[in-house]
Chain A
Amino acid sequence: METVTNLEPMRKGDRTLSPQELQIQRAQRRGAIIRYVVLTLFGLLMLYPLIWLVGASFKTNEEIFSSAAFWPKEPTIQGYIDGWQTSTPYTFARFFLNSLYIVIPKMIGTAISSVIVAYGFARFEFPGKKILFGILIATLLLPDVVTRIPQYLLFRELGWLDTYLPLFVPQWFALEAFFVFMLIQFMRSIPRDMEEAARVDGANTFQVLWFVVVPMLMPAIISVCLFQFMWTMNDFLGPLIYISSVENYPVSLALKLSIDTTEAFNWNQILAMTVLALAPSLVVFFIAQKYFIEGISTGGVKG
């Protein structure tokens, strides 16, 4: 701390600072240092479970039990090899592929339908708009638990059990109110001049949406896709209810299966598969973090 404060008078160049100014500066600097220390310590506390997880996945079972340190003494990838095989006839490759079969149609369907519906709300007047918008906001608060059982019965009637259809078809109808709301907020902040100019030039509203609005809305659309990717990868209850055969399991169910069936204390296998299950979400987050933060602060979000 001393060395830092000693530098101050020189920084200001030719003007020497009065004792009061120096004092204020010193106090500010001390405040900043305290903040850094607190942020770093608390941040480590926050992230250590995840850091430990990665280290532990390369440890032997005996070492996981005996050390809280991150770095494995005898690093081994045996946990990954054994865990990947699973106790089922399928490897985790199958389960990751299954997750993609859910994520991709869900993401694309959500983005397309939410943009179309948000456009309708943000740019047109029609009878009943206020009521419908009210309902949209109210469904943000509607707990899924009320509609879950009849939805299950509906999908059973349709013969969709043990398929992925119940997991993504509802999302093709812009049913995630949060996304529609978020897109409406973004659209409100886009000036309408270009849209009006395109209209004057004879474009129809759909062309305006596709060629003018969608390009400007791209960051928000990316946010929608990313959140949907994350939530779907993380979803457990949906697959738990609808998917019954192991060959159709997504990663989340496969992971649950491996805690249930792996003999007690084969921790490194489970931790290794936990790392892999988190990896896609983490990679996506680090590549595109600004879209998450923008999306969340525009729309407010669950999670």
Chain B
Amino acid sequence: MGGDNKFLGMAYVSPYVVGLCLFTAFPFMASLYLSFTDYDLLSTPEWVGLDNYERLFTRDRTFNKSLSVTLLYVFMTVPLKLCFALLVAVVLNYKLKAIGFFRTAYYVPSVLGGSIAIAVLWRYIFAEVGLVNMGLTAIGMEPVNWFGDPQNALFTLTLLRCWQFGSAMVIFLAALQSVDKSLYEASSIDGAGKWQQFRFITVPLITPVIFFNLIMQTVQAFQEFNGPYIITNGGPLKSTYLLPLYIYDKAFKSFDMGYASAIAWILFVIIMALTLIAFWSSKKWVYYAGDKRS
């Protein structure tokens, strides 16, 4: 292709470049700047240096609580959700009649995703006289105070996200289907059992996808907002007051834009740090079979 193709290519991607500058790159830098200022939306931002950060780490109890709750939430939700997703994907990978129906059924809760309606539903299902407690009473168990007890509230939110393992599952399923079947046949001749096959053939071959899901789900879990906002509103006793809620309150309720930006940046740095650790460690455990995966 000729020389003007260079310009054609640039022309085609130019909408993205414009949008990227306007709505991503510029706000990204502005957010960093704002985090060093005091800004209440009315007067001009006032430079305060590291004040916001100092206040966060030394004087802000709510921030400490919110940070630890967020980390707890992410470290509970992500592994649980991925385990579910992989387990179900393995079962759904068998050739069974009506398997398409099951795949769809397991995917439905995720399609509805972070929808507000699902959060509302969750709130009523786990209410004190909700569906789950009625079920527990029916089988002779004690009802549980799912959202009223600070010990349980975060866990109940975790359940909501684990219920929505579908999109991770679909990605696992696609990966499982591309695993070469002859490897299983060869290993079963060598006497390998089902678990050994899973452990030593399946898992290594799908590590790229495990890695992908791990990163995406982590980034997402750190940004959880709808669930805690609708269901518990951060309570009881701030036990579900995740950082995105705190940022929202600071920015859009108390109009403390500078301080909120500082919290957002801390959240961003944590996500980036974990992502970088994951990328760095992936060299040791993610296995790419030649250039098969593009």
Contacts and interface: CB of A to CB of B under 8 A. Distances in A.
A175 B31 contact: no
A188 B9 CA distance: 16
A302 B167 CA distance: 7
B105 A43 contact: yes
Contacts of A135: 20
Contacts of B17: 132
A147 B134 CA distance: 43
Given A117-B15, A147-B28, A175-B20, A289 B104 contact: yes
B26 interface: yes
Contact of A173 (B16, B27, B104, B118): B16
Give the interface residue-count category, chain B.
35 or more
Interface centre among B114, B213, B265 (most CB of A within 10 A): B114
A113 interface: yes
A303 B108 CA distance: 11
Q: From DSSP, what is the main secondary structure of chain B's interface residues?
A: helix
Interface residues of A, number: 85
Interface string A125-163: 111010010011001111111111111111000000000
Interface in B112-130: 112-118, 120-125, 129
B268 A145 contact: yes
B173 interface: yes
Interface stretch (B59-67, B181-189, B222-230): B222-230
Contact of A154 (B12, B27, B257, B261): B27
Given A120-B11, A145-B244, A170-B19, A43 B102 contact: yes
Contacts of B229: 236
A234 B116 contact: yes
Q: From DSSP, what is the main secondary structure of chain A's interface residues?
A: helix
Interface string A36-62: 101100110011011011000000000
B76 interface: no
Contact of A38 (B31, B91, B294): B91
Contacts of A136: 16
Contacts of A282: 108, 111-112
B74 to A, nearest CB: 12
A173 B124 contact: no
Interface in A247-303: 252, 255-256, 259, 267, 270-271, 274, 277-278, 281-282, 285, 289, 292-293, 296-297, 300-303
A241 B20 CA distance: 21
A120 to B, nearest CB: 3
A73 interface: no
Given A173-B16, A230-B113, A120 B268 contact: no
A50 B125 CA distance: 10
A205 interface: yes
A35 to B, nearest CB: 6
Nearest to A169: B23
A173 B19 contact: yes
Interface in A170-224: 170, 172-175, 180, 188, 205
A108 to B, nearest CB: 14
Contact of B124 (A35, A145, A271): A271
A300 B210 CA distance: 11
B112 A281 contact: yes
Contacts of B88: 42
A144 B252 CA distance: 15
Contacts of A180: 16
A52 B215 CA distance: 34
Given A135-B20, A146-B31, A296-B171, A124 B115 contact: no
Contacts of B108: 46-47, 50, 282, 285
A181 to B, nearest CB: 12
Nearest to A151: B27
Interface of B: 1, 5-13, 15-20, 22-24, 26-28, 30-31, 34, 88, 91-92, 94, 96, 102-118, 120-125, 129, 131, 134-135, 138, 163-164, 166-167, 170-171, 173-174, 209, 212-213, 215-216, 219-220, 222-223, 225-226, 229-230, 244, 247-248, 251-252, 257, 260-261, 264-265, 267-268, 271, 275, 294
The 5 closest A-B pairs by CB, nearest first: A173-B19, A120-B12, A124-B9, A297-B174, A150-B27
9 contacts: A39-B92, A66-B134, A139-B24, A141-B215, A152-B252, A175-B23, A277-B116, A297-B173, A300-B216
